[in-house]
Amino acid sequence: MTTAIREWNDLPVLVTGAGGFIGSHLVEALAQRGATVRAFVRYNSRNDYGWLESLDDANSERVEIFRGDLANPEAVSRAAEGRDVIFHLGALIPIPYSYVHPREFVAANTVATLNVLEAVRRHGTRRLVHTSTSEVYGTAQRVPIDEDHPLHAQSPYAASKIGADQLALSYVRAFESPVVVARPFNTYGPRQSARAVIPTIVSQTLSGADRLEIGSLEPRRDFTFVEDTVRGLIACAEAAGAEGEVFNLGSGVEVTIGELVERVMKLVGVEIPVHTSDARRRPPASEVERLLADTGKAERLLGWTASIPLDEGLARVVEWMRGSLASYKPSRYNV
């Protein structure tokens, strides 16, 4: 088992999914700590690095862009070579899209994780932080949800992530791979895509729409600001003797989607009718009705707790989206 990582300065790190919402924030945080970050982004002919395009000069000097596809084991192995720590965030995540093309989710989430795990074995990586999701629990059978709660896939996305999680934990048992599983609950913040509920609400209320189009208002969620999630991921890398452990990263506070709508409208200063659309609802048996994290284990073993209250986080999202609304299509449903 590995010892704690106490010094990030010049530490070689790999982040998969680095151009995405959480990944780009993590790359910035690691660069600010002095790490040398290899940022794995999916190749595209536009040479587009996603949200890493907005890195400031001070951070970009510590970041190396690696273009590839996590479904390609040779690319993953090359990216992992010489890296002491790997944060695996690369995944396909929109749940409605998983109803349309489930096979893509198995390739992008489960098979790609296998490639990362094999690369860790090959190169002797000191620590792999594998990023899971609270969706693997399904609708809460008991609250708050601790890490021993049964896993219950209610979408192809959740099933692909359960498969990835179990592969990761099996490598700890079978090969003593230095894997820690981080399980974030509904992360939100600047840069999140419009397929998520908070950007959906904020973008519509800021756009001057005459009504808010949304799915179900009754589900309850535990929202965690992205800076807190990033601190939790880094804490998972730093903790000594945490291999084989799973850690919930949540706020421990729940809110209904209906209450969330009210809070956002109050922050924006508008009040418009709310229309619940069948097209935006999950199939009834696929809807996860309640997620609420028990974060006691992360507090005890990582010294981590969420610190940014929901209203403060929402205000920061609203402020950011006021200047970034052109990046969104508020009138369109993003699957």
Residue 2 has pLDDT above 60, yes or no: no
In a domain, 309, yes or no: no
In a domain, 170, yes or no: yes
> Among residues of the chain, what percentage have pLDDT more than 90?
87
pLDDT of residue 49: 86
Q: Which residues contact 57 (CB under 8 A, 6 or more apart)?
A: none
pLDDT of residue 59: 83
In a domain, 139, yes or no: yes
Q: Which two tokens stand for residue 305?
A: 């707790």
Rounded Cα–Cα distance for residues 70 and 74 (Å): 9
In a domain, 317, yes or no: no
In a domain, 256, yes or no: no
With beta carbons less than 8 A apart as the criterion, state whether 275 and 202 touch: no
What's the domain range around 60? Answer: 12-190+224-249
Residue 286 burial (CB count, 10 A): 19
Check whether the bond before 144 is cis (ω within 30° of 0).
yes
In a domain, 300, yes or no: no
Rounded Cα–Cα distance for residues 82 and 276 (Å): 50
Average pLDDT over residues 206-228: 95
Rounded Cα–Cα distance for residues 162 and 12 (Å): 29
Rounded Cα–Cα distance for residues 61 and 97 (Å): 36
pLDDT digit string, tens, across residues 271-291: 999 999 888 999 999 999 999
In a domain, 3, yes or no: no
Residue 137 identity? Y
With beta carbons less than 8 A apart as the criterion, state whether 177 and 128 touch: yes
Rounded Cα–Cα distance for residues 113 and 120 (Å): 11
pLDDT of residue 47: 81
Instruction: Say which residue, 66 or 3, is predicted with more confidence.
Output: 66
Residue 13 identity? V
> Among residues of the chain, what percentage have pLDDT more than 70?
98
Q: Which residues contact 219 (CB under 8 A, 6 or more apart)?
A: 256, 257, 287, 288, 289, 290
Average pLDDT over residues 227-233: 98
Nearest-10 Cα torsion for 199, 202, 206, 209 = 90
In a domain, 96, yes or no: yes
Q: Which residue has the tokens 């309640």?
A: 290
Residue 150 has pLDDT above 60, yes or no: yes
pLDDT digit string, tens, across residues 17-39: 999 999 999 999 999 999 999 99
Q: Which two tokens stand for residue 144?
A: 């708050």
| Structural domains counted in the chain | 1
Rg (CA), the chain: 19
Rounded Cα–Cα distance for residues 141 and 135 (Å): 13
Rounded Cα–Cα distance for residues 232 and 249 (Å): 6
Q: What angle do CA 107, 89, 175 make, to 5 degrees?
A: 75
Q: What CATH number should be reported for the domain holding residue 184? A: 3.40.50.720
pLDDT digit string, tens, across residues 298-331: 999 999 999 999 999 999 999 999 998 888 887 6
